[in-house]
Structure 1
């Protein structure tokens, strides 16, 4: 035996019980009592919760965007993830015209082999079909464990039209992949921006007003419409509005294979943040919405309408955000979150908003099931020993000074959490303990995922 975690309260999506966990060679080999402690590292988790590591299926590490590159490298982003109880991250490399899927993914894998502190997987953002070559390559990509692809309805140079979206939906269905979508209405955004700039309305508040609830809802409803009529599968990323959420949830009730993700920033903040002096720091797309949408998101989390909570982690430095202090269109879009995901959702459970079981379902079990991570997502014999020990009594206030990324500010500054992770194990190896990262770059392994066929 390599590791025994004893006397802790184990949390699954459906059960809560006290037991010991035995680990050998990176795998969980037993759950129960009476394991031999000879030659094993023994951790007493009395009074603490023992959880499967979170899976953040939405990050943008070292991503070129808005004239710069997101602040966290693969090393910094995965280090921060480990310190927040995330044991697997999914990154979104962006395929451009002339690029192949696997050429891009292999380039990123080579970086992660040197830098990743925890396990990692990739979606691939498709921006150009390369005269159909990308559609052909998708089957090979699925065989190589890249079983999900993303397209954007927005961003010039990256967005796809309805015809391309349809081709990707149908091809993903053929090869057993999942298509992810960033859904907003680009023409209306452009019209709003044009009008605001003419009127001299350039503060971050107009970032929100240029892409308010109905703009995101139109994209969501359109994506759901095509998915239903083509009998395909769809994963809607970073859902932030009530109307689009309701359309997706209704389709799910009707039996369509549609999944919904939201992010902690939409659960914590509303559009009022864009009126703050530091409002530019909160600029992301889609933006935070009004209270009615936030209430709808929390309701859907409690009732099963939302399947996953992930982060869209894409931080930029404060001086880069300052590029748009007088013109919101120049603000790089994105916020930090990977280290805050699990602590935030577990704090919500600790405060009684949801159960701990629901937090595990949203942040670990569902992401693993939806995206084919057969060795992840639960504390089960035979699965990877990705384990988090959580102290429900620990008080924690988030600050840039106690985070482990490379950014110089965080939208989470000053947010108080009830309870906090004290240890993170990645495949049985301790990578975080009591506020300090204790892992190493290069430890992380590529997660080859299973397709949907």
Structure 2
């Protein structure tokens, strides 16, 4: 398959320029003006932007949690991704006790491969950090699995890693070119707060936020950063949502340490006031959406370059599942949708002048590709995979669940007005989305083998 996208403006993380893009055999074969086009299919992108497909570095598809399963399987979740200009997703595999890293990934890959509509890779959430698992960091990285997540929370669920585990994992990551990510919250304070609120009969979604307020996340952020600094090892903080943690990241980066911060669209668009709404249970996620001060700090972190990626933590549950906790916030499955909204939301913010289009591409495509070793992804460049989103800045789009492509039966983004929208998505040169309609197919997506980091 070959075609030329003509008349558009290419956006990179540092520039924008008018040029045509020649795609052949799934790759970007040439970029320039007046490319030879005899007998080649022409895609007219006049007045539109040609962007690298987004990489959502944080999703939970077919994810068992709180006694249920997230609403999107690997087909529905990657279909929604395609329709939002996301061409690669990173899903999380949770290691079971006694499993190795590659052993944990294999059944998830077997489940994903026949369903995925876009390309995919995995982060492995480690729960049993044995000596054998630490030894496997090197061979797992060589197999394309160089990133591991540690939970600093969910002690009662058997997921939490203690400080010694974090220290050992960071130490080993430095030796193997792998990257440790942390979900940073303090479990003991959370459990103390929950017990107090339950005894007082304070069970509305508002108390989900009050049980895990800013300081609960910030303390764990600071602790994880401290261990990374002690070892001079890189660290990636997932779904950063609080002002104090943001400041700790800034301080560490300014001191010369390799600390990466990811935040999510829900933290940028909403505040903790959503938990006072009648549908507040639909917004329950962990860490919870924080107050206005934290939201302002995150946007400032983006502007100043201390937020490296925006990803979604896409983990939707249907209304019936969320309603389990309508009278008790502790029973609400934690998670929100977002994979289809990530790129359109950030690009709309660019269209409104809040950030630049270059910054949106940096946060949603180029940085995640660089940080996680997706060498064929993340940019409209010759030799890269032809993962391309075409964006029309002149479309006015209002998000409704009826327009979305998830299997969830509502969206927290209902009624959100966007300036501009994705009109086409290509994965390795294959069009998977066109003018509001999914036109991809299950099983087209392939596993992306990520590259380990250089060892100092």
Question: Per-residue deviation at 1:417?
Answer: 0.5
CA distance, structure 1, for counterparts of residue 428 and residue 112 of structure 2: 17
Question: Per-residue deviation at 1:112?
Answer: 2.1
Q: Quick check: 1:222 aligned with 2:259? A: no
Q: 1:203 matched to which residue of 2?
A: 204
State the SS of the aligned residue for 1:249. Answer: helix
Q: 1:147 matched to which residue of 2?
A: 146
Q: Quick check: 1:231 aligned with 2:232? A: yes
Q: 1:48 matched to which residue of 2?
A: 48
Q: What are structure 1's unaligned runs of at least 5 residues?
A: none
CA distance, structure 1, for counterparts of residue 338 and residue 237 of structure 2: 19
Alpha-carbon displacement from aligned partner over 1:275-308 (angstroms, at most 9, x marks no partner): 0000000000000110000000001111101000
Within 5 A, what are the aligned runs for 1:399-410? 399-410=400-411
CA distance, structure 1, for counterparts of residue 356 and residue 87 of structure 2: 21
Q: 2:363 matched to which residue of 1?
A: 362
Question: Per-residue deviation at 1:173?
Answer: 1.2
CA distance, structure 2, for counterparts of residue 70 and residue 40 of structure 1: 43
Q: 1:379 matched to which residue of 2?
A: 380
CA distance, structure 1, for counterparts of residue 36 and residue 114 of structure 2: 36
- Deviating above 3 A after TM superposition, structure 1's stretches of 4 or more consecutive aligned residues are none
Within 5 A, what are the aligned runs for 1:314-353? 314-353=315-354
CA distance, structure 1, for counterparts of residue 418 and residue 249 of structure 2: 31
State the SS of the aligned residue for 1:413. Answer: coil
Question: Per-residue deviation at 1:34?
Answer: 2.2
CA distance, structure 2, for counterparts of residue 229 and residue 132 of structure 1: 21
Q: 1:4 matched to which residue of 2?
A: 4
TM-score by structure 1 length? 0.99
Q: Is the 8 A contact 1:242 1:296 kept in 2?
A: yes
Q: Is the 8 A contact 1:2 1:39 kept in 2?
A: no
Q: 2:304 matched to which residue of 1?
A: 303
Q: Is the 8 A contact 2:96 2:104 kept in 1?
A: no
State the SS of the aligned residue for 2:316. Answer: coil
Q: Quick check: 1:185 aligned with 2:190? A: no
Q: Is the 8 A contact 2:398 2:416 kept in 1?
A: yes
- Kindly tell me: are residues 223 and 118 of structure 1, through their superposed partners in 2, closer, same or farther at Cα, counting changes over 3 Å? same
State the SS of the aligned residue for 2:397. Answer: strand
Question: Per-residue deviation at 1:92?
Answer: 0.6
Alpha-carbon displacement from aligned partner over 1:354-407 (angstroms, at most 9, x marks no partner): 000000000000000000000011100000000110000101111111100111
Q: Quick check: 1:244 aligned with 2:238? A: no
Question: Per-residue deviation at 1:433?
Answer: 0.3
Within 5 A, what are the aligned runs for 1:124-143? 124-129=124-129, 131-143=130-142
Q: Is the 8 A contact 2:2 2:40 kept in 1?
A: yes
Alpha-carbon displacement from aligned partner over 1:179-235 (angstroms, at most 9, x marks no partner): 000000110000000000000000000000000000000010000011001111100
Deviates further, 102-111 or 64-73: 102-111
Computed over aligned residues only, the root mean square deviation of the Cα atoms, in angstroms, reads: 0.8
State the SS of the aligned residue for 2:230. Answer: helix
CA distance, structure 1, for counterparts of residue 211 and residue 293 of structure 2: 18
Q: 1:65 matched to which residue of 2?
A: 65
Q: What are structure 2's unaligned runs of at least 5 residues?
A: none
CA distance, structure 1, for counterparts of residue 230 and residue 92 of structure 2: 27
Within 5 A, what are the aligned runs for 1:93-172? 93-129=93-129, 131-155=130-154, 156=156, 157-172=158-173
Q: How many residues align?
A: 452
CA distance, structure 2, for counterparts of residue 160 and residue 334 of structure 1: 21
CA distance, structure 2, for counterparts of residue 86 and residue 215 of structure 1: 32
CA distance, structure 2, for counterparts of residue 147 and residue 164 of structure 1: 17
State the SS of the aligned residue for 1:224. Answer: helix
Q: 2:443 matched to which residue of 1?
A: 442
CA distance, structure 1, for counterparts of residue 31 and residue 314 of structure 2: 34
Question: Per-residue deviation at 1:38?
Answer: 3.1
Alpha-carbon displacement from aligned partner over 1:299-356 (angstroms, at most 9, x marks no partner): 1111101000000000001111011111100000000000000000000000000000
Within 5 A, what are the aligned runs for 1:247-262? 247-262=248-263
TM-score by structure 2 length? 0.98
Q: Is the 8 A contact 1:75 1:117 kept in 2?
A: yes
